[in-house]
């Protein structure tokens, strides 16, 4: 998934009201950027961080910049826009590039299922069971090379696991897919200390037959591409 316009570097002044961030561009101008991330963004919203913004000239948008990336030492990046994973994964599913899903020719995003829920992707193909795939964006890393989810308590995430468990028990293929939007991590685990209820719901879901798939990403200021599987250490 390529960004629609060329990103510009900036320095973070502060993030506030969850969806707003004050930033300083390289020419010294201070701007307000939209932050498309409802999570805590632990470790990613410290004043002084080098970030990348996507400008826009859409008259319908009040803010003319969107916060897309955080840059780390060593040329690594974290993608902070939570809408990106589904866009990147849809392209990867449709191209048959996601391991284990090559036989699914039909990709249906945002399908209703369960009790008032929507699944991120319903995949269908000849000779294979329907696959219900829930996607989570992973951006937390408190230890070198180890990505974690969640970065805050997520009752909604626990509900999604319960819905997936019911799909698995009904004979469908149910998959919890964690997309690590960091280029500095090669292992993944659950942050059970942050949200024990989510970890408990995950254990119940896996016992019911829900699969886990964790994928990395290739991230640059030009775009985000789905990468290879990442080891899961639970």
Domains and their CATH numbers in the chain: 8-79 (2.40.50.580), 84-232 (3.40.1350.60)
Mean pLDDT in residue range 204-215: 98
- Tell me: the pLDDT tens digits for 108-117? 999 999 888 8
222 within 8 A of 3, measured Cβ to Cβ: yes
- Tell me: the pLDDT tens digits for 38-55? 989 999 999 999 999 999
Quick one: pLDDT band at residue 61, thresholds 50, 70, 90?
A: confident
Mean pLDDT in residue range 99-111: 96
CA distance 23 to 19: 13
Q: CA distances (Å), 176 to each of 43, 125, 132, 148, 230, in order?
A: 24, 19, 9, 14, 14
The pTM is what? 0.95
User: How does the average pLDDT of the chain come out, rounded?
Assistant: 96
């Amino acid at each position: 998934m390529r960004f629609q316009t060329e990103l510009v570097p900036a320095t973070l002044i502060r993030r506030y009201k969850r969806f707003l961030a004050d930033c300083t561009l390289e020419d010294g101008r201070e701007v307000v950027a939209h932050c498309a991330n409802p999570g805590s963004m632990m470790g990613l919203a410290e004043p002084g961080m080098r970030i990348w913004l996507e400008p826009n000239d859409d008259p319908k948008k009040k803010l003319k910049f969107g916060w897309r990336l955080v840059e780390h030492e060593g040329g690594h990046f974290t993608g902070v826009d939570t809408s990106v994973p589904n866009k990147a994964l849809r392209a990867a599913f449709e191209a048959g590039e996601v391991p284990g899903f090559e036989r699914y020719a039909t990709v249906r995003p945002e399908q209703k299922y369960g009790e008032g829920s929507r699944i991120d992707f319903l995949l269908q193909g000849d000779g294979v069971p329907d696959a219900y795939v829930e996607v989570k964006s992973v951006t937390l890393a408190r230890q070198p090379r180890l990505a974690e989810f969640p970065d805050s308590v997520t009752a909604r995430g626990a509900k999604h696991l319960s819905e997936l468990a019911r799909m698995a028990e009904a004979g469908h293929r149910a998959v919890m897919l964690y997309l690590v939007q960091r280029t500095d991590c090669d292992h993944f685990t659950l942050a059970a200390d942050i949200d024990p209820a989510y970890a408990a719901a995950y254990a119940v879901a896996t016992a019911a037959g829900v699969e886990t798939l964790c994928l990395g990403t290739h991230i640059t200021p030009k775009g985000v591409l789905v990468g290879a599987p990442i080891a899961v250490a639970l």
